[in-house]
Amino acid sequence: MLRDNPDAVGVHIYGTNVDRDAAALAACDVAEVEPRHVSDDEYSAFALDFCRRHRIDVLVPPRRLTALAGLGAEFAAVGTRLMCSPLAAIEVLTSKTRTYEAALAAGVPVPPWRSVRDAAEFRAAVAELSAAGEKVCIKPAGEYSAFGFRVLDDGPLRIRDLLAPPVPQASVAAVADAFERAVDEGDPVPEFLVMPYLDGPEISVDCLSAPGGHPLAAIARSKAGRYRLLLDDPEVTAIARRLVEHFGLAYLSNVQLRHLEGRPVLLEANPRASAGIFQTAFTGVNLPWAAVRLLLRGETGPLAEPRLGARIAVTESATQVDAPPPALTSVDGGLAAVPTTVPAAAAIPPPFLEEAAAG
């Protein structure tokens, strides 16, 4: 979407990942390995040096946001625009507990939840939330993507269960034992959330907003297996826009919802582009490029009315990646901006940048 942009601007993509064999790097023109398990200060120093050495024009980080947010002036000093929401919003949204508390204050519907850190709190939360006979689930309160999510089920295993697709499931006893074992072995226990299991399609809303949280576009899609439905649902996009405004999110963000008793409720909000933002291309709106243009020029250019209602399939493709990632070389220009699993960069020709500076 960055390369096939409506301004016909040539874009050169740089990407970094902690794993030099990450398949996503095959989509980049230039790739580099980034440091693993380092502090925020060390990571920001790496990012600043990377942008300085390679004259990156725009940096769009999909992770380590707390390490980079608030450093706009430092990146500007090396010639790089940082596409990032305010640090205060990021610090709230990296905790689902703080997110739910803030969302409630903003009038956004959220599911009932309980925060737990040990076996006793976990068992009490399960007993309370499952009293109505509903399924209950558990997930980490921090940023773990889908890792750690489990549906809690103490029912007996049946043959039909063994023949069905696998599901992330665990018994209450097994999870409680895991909490107790962590205490016995001195392992750290992060905060977890226990909440009702919300069945039905998950809804993901990709948002574009100006600094300060002014919403410019919100495109919703529901997920059902390999299929996505591009939704025309003003109720869910209104919730997403309200969250963007409340947290003052800038450029690209993502809001996820499910339904509880027929009404949409918040699952989580991410102050970054979603990994599935490429699916919004089928609406005719290029959100990633609009965000880049907004950062560089202060305006998005014309945004088409999104074509909604289409059903699309997410399919796999094979890409040969047996050669090592291309070595980094110094090139003129650079735009760090790939909203996938890798931070990245791309070269924007000087006329575009000079016009942006003049504007």
Name the pLDDT band for 85 (thresholds 50, 70, 90). very high
d(CA 55, CA 346): 10
Q: Which of 256, 336, 333 is nearest to 291 (CA)?
A: 336
Position 264, amino acid: P
d(CA 12, CA 86): 27
Q: Which of 225, 236, 98 is nearest to 165 (CA)?
A: 225
d(CA 79, CA 64): 20
Burial of 176 (0-12, 13-18, 19+ CB in 10 A): middle
Q: What is the pLDDT of residues 182-241, one digit of tens each?
A: 999 999 999 999 999 997 899 999 999 999 999 999 999 999 888 999 999 999 999 999
Domains and CATH numbers, the chain: 14-84+330-358 (3.40.50), 89-95+101-107+199-312 (3.30.470.20), 112-196 (3.30.1490.20)
Average pLDDT over residues 36-41: 95
d(CA 89, CA 11): 30
Q: What is the pLDDT of residues 276-318, one digit of tens each?
A: 999 999 999 999 999 999 999 999 999 999 999 999 998 888 8
Asked whether the whole model's pTM tops 0.75, one would answer yes
Average pLDDT over residues 5-10: 95
Name the pLDDT band for 167 (thresholds 50, 70, 90). confident
| 353 pLDDT above the threshold of 80 | no
Name the pLDDT band for 330 (thresholds 50, 70, 90). very low
What average pLDDT is seen over the chain?
89
Average pLDDT over residues 15-24: 89
pLDDT for position 146: 72
Cα radius of gyration rounded to whole Å, the chain: 22
pLDDT for position 338: 36
168, 96 Cβ separation under 8 angstroms? no
Position 75, amino acid: F
pLDDT for position 7: 95
Q: What is the pLDDT of residues 227-280, one digit of tens each?
A: 999 999 999 999 999 999 999 999 999 999 999 999 999 999 999 999 999 999
**Contacts with 103 (C-beta within 8 Å, 6 or more apart), sequence order:** 110, 243, 246, 266, 269
3-state secondary structure 62-128: CCCHHHHCCCHHHHHHCCCEECCCCHHHHHHHCCHHHHHHHHHHCCCCCCCCEEECCHHHHHHHHHH
pLDDT for position 117: 96
Q: What is the pLDDT of residues 117-150, one digit of tens each?
A: 999 999 999 999 998 888 999 999 987 667 889 9
d(CA 2, CA 339): 10
